[in-house]
Structure 1
């Protein structure tokens, strides 16, 4: 049985990979979860651990190829192996929960939630990329995210996979074949997927005319920033001045706000010696377009350690508000285990540890018509961090903005996976999202998760459109933080009840480590 279980787990990992953007076969997320459920039902803990690990390798290794674009193969492989340890633990837990041989879809789904929660917070703050819910941007299941959040959406995906596994088990197990129950489980999985189509996705709200600028990078630009400093800032100021000319000519609508991506200013506007020159160039573009400009920049703020910032500038006034990124990306914006990491890549010491912010990512932007709009900010990978986006909504954000670069990750699927996460967040919180990237993929996203005016990778583009502002709170804002604790309680209760039942029946065999 062992080779069959491991082969099934490997196929499950491939199915999970194919479910995500780049391949866009979202139903395969359920298939992948179901494959691991079948591979671990009745298996030993050791087999479950190995099955989960192989699933994780087959899933994450090709998914994370973009991590080695500049850093090389060793960091990419290390990241993939470390990430695969979490599905490995999941496989061992599923083996314990399914020791009797029957797939247990509810408990299995709860175990998936715990695995994803662990990845989201450990180690070094976590890296919740590739969660099940982020594979469902084009799925009927997406509607449910406004009720139960991304953790709950992942639970539903895993539950659907568990029901598929029950159906297959009932139909194909020679000793327990049951056509009626098998078909019933498959029908339940289909109903679970389709039911969220009934959840409304309102898109009404006062319109905000947005202009989002994607400047692209010069051909000689690399992660070492070999382009002349100020090159990127020149691109964004030029494109914004061009927009001002089009507005004056009547060929473009007047923008309420102009948005530039992460790192759009490659000169530090807050630096005591060079900042005034950068500020003059920024404010010149702001005054020309006569609209607030919200942009990304890295600044040392007169000290030695850098901060990843979003700055808002007002016409005729200059710098108004500043947001400092709170949830820094491990190994990208700070380097854990630096002495060890030096053996994996020569890039390690080129990464300076950033200083995290402490305030929620919201800025108030006064508009020309007298209104003030509150923007919720999630810089780059912060969009996949639940508290980052949820806290902004709780602080009154009417529109979410995800400024990102993506320039370090080449032409793989990272950018497509990134904007898909923003689409899921739009539905989860009932907010429009502006996902604006240096190199793409950028897009204006309405609260129903639909992308308008999307761009291609490595192109210059200007996105213009009216997005609805919304302030209503979705149930997910309240319920999603409870999904993981309830899942943990369910798993613990399942393990305890299983032990008590076996003791009553006098069948408490030792936990098998091999089979």
Structure 2
């Protein structure tokens, strides 16, 4: 490869990485997503060699940059997850080139279909990592994202990538020989899809009239993870006092539900403290009861639960619910655990993998969704569910809660692992889509931020900030009313990821046809 020819792919590769990174938080310039992949796609239709290598490089560098907050937990996890995610970029490029070359199908249809399929597979394969979907970049643009209640976030991803593919195809002149018949399709299809999406969005927003629901208070203690992770009994007492003091500061404010983030209750609440012999367990249990009574409010408290299976101790990441009288009502155990964060896959076969887990103990996943009843001070009745940490990024879980009949969802999380990083912003952006997809209000209590309220149209209508406007690594309380719409079941809630599944099926079928088709028929002239 001569130097001038080598320069063009490098420039286009660099531009793609730059634009993709700027599209997501922390830069958060979501509008750039509509052009971010154009340089990459031009490479796909103009370069005969090394396109898979360029694509792997784009993915690896992009994910290494965007996942840099993982270095605070484990360097090896940061590198391995980045490489794993970049493999999807490689697979995307290979499938796109192979199918378009052999079957002569329109680039503007093949590319968004394969991209959407890859995002969907990444959302569940090997426990799933539904992060950095290109549709997530649009969380601030309400008219664009309303169609998620039909297609899920995948519909927004498909339209963005279709637009990128169309522009790249037109700019590359690759359609002159093989795809002249697709010229009108390339020009019209993205415009039609985008117009339908925006018109639907404006129509839905015009008829959106939210009602006010229960008053919920989020407590954000900003406990450093270093203090919490290797805490002494004195440290645990300090954490308990910090959250108790913040909660009691709300004593003069009527609230229906007070929420502590994930694992912020330092003691175990579901076991007789006499069995554990730990002072912190007794104090935590007394605090939960007294706090509910003193504030005359219901409580949702994040903590660790302990049960016994024979002589084996089994631990859960849990959300405990107490009524106003201080009586324990029920507990939700986290279903979707984070691999190499809360449990170690294949640990029985490869014990050394246990060194990658930041917990001294392995956690066990819960087995069922739990819905909690809530009676407000105004004698209204609601049903709500809780997701813990990463679970609000799992579309199927929130969709199932909605089908269980919940009126709103809470998320309790401790993103203190990632300090003052863009992970907190990225996490919140993803939660917006769970609200829109199911037309369900969501609220979050986060230890270090970002505690917030999200309405069914995707608006982040309140979040905890300090006087300087800082919203990460601060402490305080955030109180607001839940905003909800008249209960109904959106298309997406009923039928789930139908669009993404359709893209997977279409990709699989066309790939099989391309493999079966005789090579001699698929000769391709250089673009």
> Which TM-score band (shorter chain)?
0.7 to 0.9
- The answer to whether residue 474 in structure 2 is matched with residue 468 in structure 1 is no
Q: Is the 8 A contact 1:499 1:508 kept in 2?
A: no
Secondary structure, in 3 states, of the residue corresponding to 2:481?
strand
- The answer to whether residue 521 in structure 2 is matched with residue 507 in structure 1 is yes
- The answer to whether residue 32 in structure 2 is matched with residue 32 in structure 1 is no
Q: Is the 8 A contact 2:344 2:353 kept in 1?
A: no
Q: Is the 8 A contact 1:212 1:436 kept in 2?
A: yes
Q: In the TM superposition, what are the counterparts of 1:248-327 in structure 2 within 5 Å?
A: 254-273=254-273, 274=278, 275-301=281-307, 304-327=313-336
Q: Is the 8 A contact 1:363 1:376 kept in 2?
A: yes
**Deviation, structure 1 residue 215:** 1.3
- Report what 2:213 is aligned to: 207
Q: Is the 8 A contact 1:164 1:189 kept in 2?
A: no
- The answer to whether residue 251 in structure 2 is matched with residue 235 in structure 1 is no
Q: Is the 8 A contact 2:292 2:299 kept in 1?
A: yes
- Report what 1:47 is aligned to: 50
- The answer to whether residue 96 in structure 2 is matched with residue 89 in structure 1 is no
Higher mean Cα deviation, 182-191 or 377-386?
Answer: 182-191
Q: Deviations over 1:322-360 (max 9, x none)?
A: 101001111111122559998799554745321111112
Secondary structure, in 3 states, of the residue corresponding to 1:301?
strand
**Deviation, structure 1 residue 2:** 6.3
- Report what 2:467 is aligned to: none
Q: Is the 8 A contact 1:20 1:417 kept in 2?
A: yes
For the residues of structure 1 that align with 2:337 and 2:504, how far apart are their CA atoms? 27
For the residues of structure 2 that align with 1:416 and 1:200, how far apart are their CA atoms? 26
**Deviation, structure 1 residue 109:** 0.9
For the residues of structure 2 that align with 1:378 and 1:277, how far apart are their CA atoms? 26
- The answer to whether residue 486 in structure 2 is matched with residue 477 in structure 1 is no
For the residues of structure 2 that align with 1:415 and 1:191, how far apart are their CA atoms? 32
For the residues of structure 1 that align with 2:396 and 2:189, how far apart are their CA atoms? 35
**Deviation, structure 1 residue 171:** 9.5
Inter-CA distance 102–33: structure 2 relative to 1 (3 Å threshold): farther
For the residues of structure 2 that align with 1:30 and 1:102, how far apart are their CA atoms? 22
- The answer to whether residue 81 in structure 2 is matched with residue 75 in structure 1 is no
Q: In the TM superposition, what are the counterparts of 1:36-435 in structure 2 within 5 Å?
A: 36-41=40-45, 47-71=50-74, 73-99=75-101, 104-123=107-126, 125-139=127-141, 140-170=143-173, 191=195, 194-201=198-205, 202-217=208-223, 221=227, 223-225=229-231, 228-244=235-251, 246-247=252-253, 254-273=254-273, 274=278, 275-301=281-307, 304-338=313-347, 348=357, 350-435=359-444
Q: Is the 8 A contact 2:419 2:473 kept in 1?
A: no
For the residues of structure 1 that align with 2:442 and 2:223, how far apart are their CA atoms? 23
**Deviation, structure 1 residue 231:** 2.7
Secondary structure, in 3 states, of the residue corresponding to 1:210?
strand
Q: Is the 8 A contact 2:347 2:353 kept in 1?
A: no
Structure 1: gaps (5+ residues): 248-253
Q: Deviations over 1:195-222 (max 9, x none)?
A: 4533414342352211111111159625
For the residues of structure 1 that align with 2:25 and 2:358, how far apart are their CA atoms? 32
Q: Is the 8 A contact 1:363 1:375 kept in 2?
A: yes
For the residues of structure 1 that align with 2:490 and 2:354, how far apart are their CA atoms? 44
Inter-CA distance 485–416: structure 2 relative to 1 (3 Å threshold): same
- Give the superposed CA RMSD: 3.4
**Deviation, structure 1 residue 509:** 4.3
Q: Is the 8 A contact 2:223 2:448 kept in 1?
A: yes
Inter-CA distance 7–90: structure 2 relative to 1 (3 Å threshold): farther
Name the TM-score, length of structure 1 as normaliser: 0.87
Inter-CA distance 199–60: structure 2 relative to 1 (3 Å threshold): farther
Secondary structure, in 3 states, of the residue corresponding to 2:101?
coil
Higher mean Cα deviation, 336-345 or 370-379?
Answer: 336-345
Q: Deviations over 1:131-172 (max 9, x none)?
A: 222221013421221221122222222222222223323499
For the residues of structure 2 that align with 1:424 and 1:31, how far apart are their CA atoms? 22
How many residue pairs get matched?
Answer: 501
Higher mean Cα deviation, 230-239 or 418-427?
Answer: 230-239
**Deviation, structure 1 residue 3:** 5.7
Q: Deviations over 1:74-124 (max 9, x none)?
A: 32112211221111111111111222788612221111122112211122x
**Deviation, structure 1 residue 128:** 1.4
For the residues of structure 1 that align with 2:194 and 2:152, how far apart are their CA atoms? 20
Q: Is the 8 A contact 1:335 1:352 kept in 2?
A: no
Q: Is the 8 A contact 2:222 2:448 kept in 1?
A: yes
Inter-CA distance 336–220: structure 2 relative to 1 (3 Å threshold): closer
Secondary structure, in 3 states, of the residue corresponding to 2:57?
helix
**Deviation, structure 1 residue 468:** 2.2
